[in-house]
Amino acid sequence: MTHYIQIERWWESVSSAYLLVSLPCSGLNSGKAAPQEPFIEKFRAHACWHSSCSWTSRFHNLQLMIQPYVYFCLLKPWLLVFALLLAFYGWQGQPSGD
């Protein structure tokens, strides 16, 4: 049995991801090239940035741009744990063995 709704959702996800990755490429944009934003130039200074305009390079660069946010989301619960420990024990350091 074919589940058309699931297939349609899957293709919407694939198309949206492709559009998200493809739009920033100047080769796909018609008309004049838009001026580069200053924050994009900071991203281009990254050692792992790919300057080619293939979809794999654009996808890799998109991953580089969202990587700090993903790492922050992974660390945020641990920051809360350490903040609670610091508030509980104060600035004395290690808990006493008593």
Write the CB contacts of 51 (distance below 8 Å, at least 6 apart in sequence).
Answer: 44, 57
Domain ranges of the chain: 38-90
55-89 vs 4-22: helix crossing angle, rounded to 10: 90
d(CA 70, CA 76): 10
> Per-residue pLDDT tens for 27-42?
555 555 555 677 777 7
Average pLDDT, consecutive stretches of 10 residues, N- to C-terminus, the chain (98 residues)? 82 81 60 63 82 80 87 89 75 58
> Which pLDDT value is given to residue 70?
92
Q: Can you list the alpha helix ranges (DSSP code H) found in 1-98? A: 4-22, 38-44, 55-89
In the prediction, which pLDDT does 25 show?
Answer: 61
